[in-house]
């Protein structure tokens, strides 16, 4: 399962806030809600966060094995 816990830690350490993401960078509130709920995001959105927060992908998301993962 992909989790976005690293995103919130990275955001907290940056000068950005959820407000500035919405107002200055045009990130939708529904995208932030997906992050809060660990819902899937597309790679373009991940790329945008990396550019805005000046970080790497591992600062946005992490893989955590879960029993809720779909069967392969």
Stretch 33-49: mean pLDDT, rounded?
97
Q: How far apart are CA 7 and CA 39, in angstroms?
A: 13
- In the chain, what are the domain boundaries? 2-63
Judge whether residue 14 has pLDDT over 90.
Answer: yes
Judge whether residue 70 has pLDDT over 80.
Answer: no
For residues 62 and 69, which has the higher predicted lDDT (pLDDT)? 62
User: Band of the pLDDT at 58, cuts 50, 70, 90?
Assistant: very high
Q: How far apart are CA 58 and CA 4, in angstroms?
A: 9
Judge whether residue 29 has pLDDT over 80.
Answer: yes
CB of 41 closer than 8 Å to CB of 55: no
Number of H helices, E strands in the chain: 4, 2
Average pLDDT score over the chain: 95
Judge whether residue 11 has pLDDT over 90.
Answer: yes
Beta bridge partners of 62: 3
Class of domain 2-63: mainly alpha
């Amino acid at each position: 399962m992909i989790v976005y816990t690293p995103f919130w830690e990275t955001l907290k350490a940056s000068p950005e806030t959820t407000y500035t993401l919405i107002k200055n960078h045009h990130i939708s509130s529904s995208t932030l809600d997906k992050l809060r709920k660990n819902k899937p995001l597309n790679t373009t959105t991940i790329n945008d966060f990396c550019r805005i927060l000046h970080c790497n992908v591992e600062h946005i998301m992490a893989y955590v094995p879960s029993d809720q993962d779909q069967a392969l």
